[in-house]
Amino acid sequence: MKASAHSTALIAAARELSDRVGRLRFGAPVTHVYNPLTYAWAPHEEYLRRFGHTAKRVIFLGMNPGPFGMVQTGVPFGEVAAAHGWLGITAAVEQPAKAHPKRPVTGFACTRSEVSGRRLWKLFASRFGTPDEFFREHFVANYCPLAFCDEGGRNVTPDKLSPAERERLGAACNQHLRQLLEILQPEWLIGIGAFARERAEAAAEGTTIRVGQILHPSPASPKANRTDWGLTATGELVALGVWQAK
C-alpha cells in the first residue's frame, strides 16, 4: 500500500522516536535494551503504512513491547499468530545490537506466545472480523518503544527504571504520543492498564480527546486470568461509550 499523509507522518515520528530513545543509557537493574524500531523496523513500518493511513476514532495505548510480542515482530502487542496470521505482516526482522542469551530475537519464527497480544488481537478479530474493519476507526500503539531485561533475562517494565531514567525516557515518549494524537486526531485514547492511562491523561490534557482504561490482558493480572478478558474489556468499552453493545 502506498503511504498516505497520515502514515507518512507516523513513519517519520517513529523514526524520530527511535533516534531519541536510542541515545539514552540505562543502569541497573537493566543490562539489555531492545529497540524494535531499529532491528524490527521493516515490519513496524509496514504496520504503520498499512494500518495508520487514516485518522482514527479510537487509539488503544499499551505500555511497552513484550518479550514475545513486539520485541519479536515490531508490531504493538505483536503475538506472532496475530501479527502474521491476522494482520498479514511479513517483513524481515534483523538482530538487536545486544540480545540477552535468554531473550533471543527469532522474529516471526518465535514459537512462544505473547499472552497479552493473543488476548488483545483475539478480541479485535472476533468483534470486527477483518483487520480493515478494525483499523477503519481503531489503532494500537505503545507508549514506550523499548523493552528492558536484567542480568537474569527477566523483563523490567518502564515504571521500574530510576526516576532520572524515567524522566528522560518519558520526555521522548510523551512528545511522540502527542505527535500521534495530532496525526490521527482520535476521539478516544484508551489506556491498556493503569500506567498507559496515566500517560494518556497527560498527553490528552488541554485537548478534547476523551481518555479511558481497560483491564490489561497480561497473565500477570489475576483479574485477567480469573475471567474472560475479552468479555471484561468489551464491557468496559461499552460502559465508557467507546463501543456499542451487541
The dihedral through the CA atoms of 7, 141, 130, 66 has a sign that is: positive
Q: Give the CATH number of the domain where residue 210 resides.
A: 3.40.470.10
Alpha carbon of residue 241 to chain centroid: 22
- Are the C-beta atoms of residues 28 and 206 closer than 8 Å to each other? no
DSSP state letters, 114-133: -HHHHHHHHHHHHHHSSHHH
Residue 2 has pLDDT above 80, yes or no: no
CA distances from 185 to 12, 58, 120, 210, 242 (A): 17, 9, 22, 11, 15
pLDDT for the residue numbered 209: 98
CA distances from 29 to 98, 142, 149 (A): 16, 22, 8
Element (H, E) at 214: strand 210-214
pLDDT over 70 percentage in the chain? 100
Domain that residue 84 falls in: 5-240
For the stretch 69-93, pLDDT in tens is 999 999 999 999 999 999 999 899 9
Q: Would 246 be classed as within a structural domain?
A: no
CA distance 156 to 169: 14
Q: Would 245 be classed as within a structural domain?
A: no
Q: Which residues contact 179 (CB under 8 A, 6 or more apart)?
A: 9, 13
Give the model's confidence band at 179: pLDDT under 50 very low, under 70 low, under 90 confident, else very high: very high
CA distance 240 to 214: 10
Bridge-based pairing of strands 188-192 and 58-62 is parallel
Measuring CA to CA, which residue among 56, 83, 64 is closest to residue 160? Answer: 64
Q: Would 33 be classed as within a structural domain?
A: yes
Q: Would 90 be classed as within a structural domain?
A: yes
pTM (predicted TM-score): 0.97
Q: Residue 205, SS3?
A: coil
pLDDT for the residue numbered 3: 79
Bridge-based pairing of strands 138-142 and 58-62 is parallel
Compute the average pLDDT of residues 148-160: 95
**Domain total for the chain?**
1
Q: Would 70 be classed as within a structural domain?
A: yes
Q: Would 42 be classed as within a structural domain?
A: yes
Q: Which residue is associated with the grid cell 532520572?
A: 164
CA distance 59 to 66: 19
pLDDT for the residue numbered 1: 65
pLDDT for the residue numbered 119: 98
Q: Would 119 be classed as within a structural domain?
A: yes
